[in-house]
Structure 1
């Protein structure tokens, strides 16, 4: 057991998740940094050593609900009740709807929404009984603005934003603060890890549009916000004395989600996204 607050962060092998784990450790929390494959923990461990902070690494696959629950139960038994849950793990599939199979759509929901729901549901009873807790979910600008060729990804992020926004006022009655954090473009390896299997079809009528968008999105990602800076906002959302529901990680994110949040008829979003297609 530990006298420090316990934070569980998913998807910590790189990027925003890695820096969130380190940032929470610097705040004095006992951080359990989880990832699907702990063989990819070298970067986190090395940086924790360099920064002289302690993190505990555990294996957790958000799509394996039984395994994830077992991991959280082990954390509680070893370190005490979970005070902070940061849902950061995610994946992205590239393709427009005609190119996407039901399996591709399901995979995105499993990782980006249903896995988040399962973990959140599991920590709620103890948080509710204690009258306190923080649940922070890293979504995306793509959880507010639908982006071409990211149909499945945006659908899953819209879904998890709706889930968390519906949960937030109910959880608040029990002292639990629920938040979402919406980064814009962040310099990570997301573009390299995009699942583009749907595009491997001959005579693809969408190929020119897809290539144009892919180049535009890649340029935005390459010139985007540093993962460490985005993570600092996640840490703030998880530890602030004045929590709120929606956080953006940069002015670019504020401007981008504003396209949709103030767009009552949808024309601003569709116009902006059409320009991305050339």
Structure 2
């Protein structure tokens, strides 16, 4: 993969950082992007430890000028693009009665429209080389989860967008894959921080949220959750796969959880499972 150019979004931490380093280790020439390159220290340090180099560039997926500038840089510097990993996104906890519609729109802007805009800008380059388009979604893009209404809505939208794009892109030589992690150790802290501003105290939602957080803390415990490095290994293996699947889960736990929905035609099983998340049992 020494001549393959890979662009990864959201590489300042977590899955994006681990993917950039793992891909470089496997031979990709990696353009590692993030909204604020002043936060590139952990990525540069991880790359140095791994003995690889990555090209750190600014990219804000909610800013069209930033997207266009980054893709223009890739074309002018490397002559083209072989693969894009849409990873940039943000967690969010909330429920609609106690949060604003503006907050929901903001979640969609980052997690859905950011993917759409970056994909649109990259497709001409990917078509030229018969490239790969890989998007990190979530099992939350398959199974709706309590207090994740906006986040799951955005991830559902990404899944629908990519599933619909897949046959169209394939007819022009671009393979499309969505990668669905389950609980990953790097993500829960951000979700809890988002929750701190959720005004549920004194409302009927307070005990439901408490029960949800107890259950979710257990799922994201280091002994149970997957590492970002584990997810990155799956992502890079998928990029290297000559015939990748359209949908890939990153762990056995993620496969089981996604299977709850994909084999649940009337939705009853999903509701049975997630109802317990807020019941405190």
TM range (shorter): over 0.9
- Aligned equivalents of 1:148, 1:206: Cα separation in 2: 11
Q: CA RMSD in A?
A: 1.6
Which blocks of at least 5 consecutive residues in structure 1 are unaligned? none
- The aligned residue for residue 80 of structure 1 is 79
Contact 1:10–1:34 (CA under 8 A) maintained in structure 2: yes
Inter-CA distance 11–212: structure 2 relative to 1 (3 Å threshold)? same
Normalized against structure 2, the TM-score is what?
0.94
CA positional deviation for 1:206: 0.2
Deviations 1:3-56 (A, max 9, x none): 711100011111111111011111211101111111211111011111111101
CA positional deviation for 1:202: 4.7
- The aligned residue for residue 143 of structure 2 is 145
- The aligned residue for residue 232 of structure 2 is 231
Counterparts in 2 of 1:115-194, with a 5 A limit? 115-130=114-129, 132-193=130-191, 194=193
Alignment pair present for 1:67 and 2:89? no
CA positional deviation for 1:98: 1.5
- Alignment length (residue pairs): 276
Deviations 1:123-166 (A, max 9, x none): 11232244x01000000000000000000000000000000000
Which blocks of at least 5 consecutive residues in structure 2 are unaligned? none
- The aligned residue for residue 217 of structure 2 is 218
The secondary structure found in structure 2 opposite 1:263 is: coil
Runs of at least 4 residues of structure 1 off by over 6 A?
none
- The aligned residue for residue 44 of structure 1 is 43
CA positional deviation for 1:192: 3.2
Normalized against structure 1, the TM-score is what?
0.95
